[in-house]
Copies of this chain bind each other. A is one copy, B any other.
C-alpha cells in the first residue's frame, strides 16, 4: 500500500495526479454520452423510434454466433413456458 503522509508529499502528489487524470477522462466520457443523446434526439425528431434503434444497436454489437445461440435458447424457453417469441 502506498504510504501517504509523514513528511513527504510525493505519494500525495502522485495520488492527486491519478485522480485528476481520471476526472478528466470522466469528463470526456460524459461529453461522448451527451453526443449520443443528441443523435438519438435528432433521430427521434425525424420520427424514428429510439427504443427500437437501441435494440438494433444491441443486435449489431452481438457476434452472429452468440445471437443465434441466444435466439434458439429463447425459443426453447418461450415454448416451455407458452409464450410466443416473435422476433423480439
Contact = CB atoms under 8 A, between A and B. Distances in A.
Task: Say what secondary structure dominates the interface of chain A.
Answer: helix
Interface residues of A, number: 64
Contact of A43 (B9, B18, B33, B56): B18
Contacts of A83: 56, 59-60
B77 A4 contact: yes
Interface of A: 1-5, 9, 11-16, 18-19, 21-23, 25-26, 28-29, 32-33, 35-36, 39-40, 42-43, 46-49, 51-53, 55-57, 59-61, 64, 67-68, 70-88
In the A-B complex, the 4 residue pairs with the smallest Cβ-Cβ separation, listed nearest first, are A2-B47, A12-B80, A71-B87, A18-B43
